[in-house]
Structure 1
Amino acid sequence: MSKPKYKAVIFDFDDTLVETRLIKMAHHIAVAKKFYDINLTEEVFLEHYGKPFNTLIKTLYQDSDTLENMIAANVTMRNDFLKKVYPASVDVVKTLLDHDIKIGILSATNRDFVMNDLNRLNFPVDRMSVVQGADETEVHKPDPNVFMPILDKLKKQGIEKEDIVYVGDSLSDLKATTAAGIDFIAVTTGLYSQEDFKNNGAEVIIKEIKEVVEKII
């Protein structure tokens, strides 16, 4: 068996491991209308999509209530708009784990929401090394310092930055990893195309998450 190229793989969550954008757009449009009588448009949603969850809902719901109440409003309709796992995502994670590769998640979604989805979609959460949500850091992608907490945790497990690769679907993912000195694998299941990533300096680009395994093992 050949030696894996990396000792740890950190995944973005939304639009990388799970189908999110169109589902959550419908979700936010419904919440904005039902609770705040806001006619949220696709253009406005896409303009702000990818921002940390708390910042996103404050913007989309126009600060119409307290943050706590806006989160509660969002959660009341959550089960009507559940994220869907991409084919092979769970198998990819399990395969990497079976090759003794540490797995982490770094997401712009709040940690509790990520954990709920990971468990609901049958990801092997108990085998993951770290799950970091947007509500756990003061900085967010594309700021490279967003990686500091997760890098510290992996370092305690004997894994250095050069042994890590981040897999994501956005240019903010690419910019954050580049500035942090972390290798990056771009997947074109989000808003950005292969050309977009190439034009911004990405060297490894895949169409589907199932292709990650052959890039690492």
Structure 2
Amino acid sequence: MKLNPKYKAVCFDMDGTLLNTKVDYVKMANVAFNEMVRLGVPETAIDRSESFKFNIDSGIEYLKKHNKVEDIYKIGANISKMARDIEMERVDEARPFDGTNPLLDLIHSFGLSTGVLTRGCREYAEAVLKKCDSLKRIDCLIARDDYPEEESKPSPIAMQHMADRLNVKTDEILYFGDHGMDYRCAKDAGTDFIAVTTGAFRSDDWMKEGVKVEFDSITDFYRSLMA
């Protein structure tokens, strides 16, 4: 396989896509939802459909409608701190997928940039990437706490931040992800997307999103480039 010459960067979601990590997303989602309720967001207003990788957009939207500006700041700051603690619990168990680092090196050999766009916090992302010997192979890392919460995935603004930092356009990026959030972020930003099944979503989940799985993993993608 040859990459489309329009691409100037190949970027990745981190957990479940680039790295095999062990974050307890169920625990994280429950903490996030409980904090929303504590701050006065009714259960009926909370969207739990993204429970594997928490999304607090529904809580923020409720607080905006009810003019609870101070609570909007609190919900982001409080949940981010609690999520960080959960993310850091099992950093030592993180492993790169087969081919992760060789793929990043290969992409650079093509003269392209590499990036990671994750909903993980920066401290956690840098820790696991460094442990897996991948951090030095990444040209740009965009983490959850680098920008306001509402600019994180699935917002296309997250991909625009990546493009700006790499000095490319969003349609010059190829992005890999394991979750519907990744796909929606890429799609709304005009970024080409490749789905993998090594993380939260399996083939039937991608089918529901209308996404065809071309490669089960970045390992398979790496092998296709080497063939």
TM over 0.5: yes
Question: Is 1:208 aligned to residue 217 of structure 2?
Answer: yes
Instruction: Give the residue type in structure 1 aligned to 2:112.
Output: I
CA distance in 1, matches of 2:197, 2:217: 7
8 Å CA contact 1:27–1:77 kept in 2: the answer is no
1:70 Cα shift?
4.2
Question: Is 1:140 aligned to residue 152 of structure 2?
Answer: yes
1:34-74: CA deviations, max 9, x gaps? xxxxxxxxxxx996332379xxxxxxxxx9xx668746854
Unaligned runs of 5+ in 2: 32-47, 57-74
Cα 1:69–1:152 change in 2 (3 A) is closer
1:110 Cα shift?
0.6
1:133 Cα shift?
0.4
Cα 1:216–1:150 change in 2 (3 A) is farther
Instruction: Give the residue type in structure 1 aligned to 2:124.
Output: F
Q: Once the two structures are aligned, what percentage of the paired residues are identical?
A: 24
Q: Which stretch shifts more, 11-20 or 200-209?
A: 200-209
1:164 Cα shift?
1.0
- TM-score in terms of structure 2 length: 0.68
1:76 Cα shift?
7.5
Unaligned runs of 5+ in 1: 33-44, 54-62
Instruction: Give the residue type in structure 1 aligned to 2:20.
Output: E
8 Å CA contact 2:16–2:198 kept in 1: the answer is yes
- TM-score in terms of structure 1 length: 0.70
1:124-152: CA deviations, max 9, x gaps? x3342210100012222222111121111
Question: Is 1:166 aligned to residue 175 of structure 2?
Answer: yes
Question: Is 1:119 aligned to residue 120 of structure 2?
Answer: no
Instruction: Give the residue type in structure 1 aligned to 2:202.
Output: S
In structure 2, the partner of 1:58 is: none
1:6-26: CA deviations, max 9, x gaps? 221110000001122xx2229
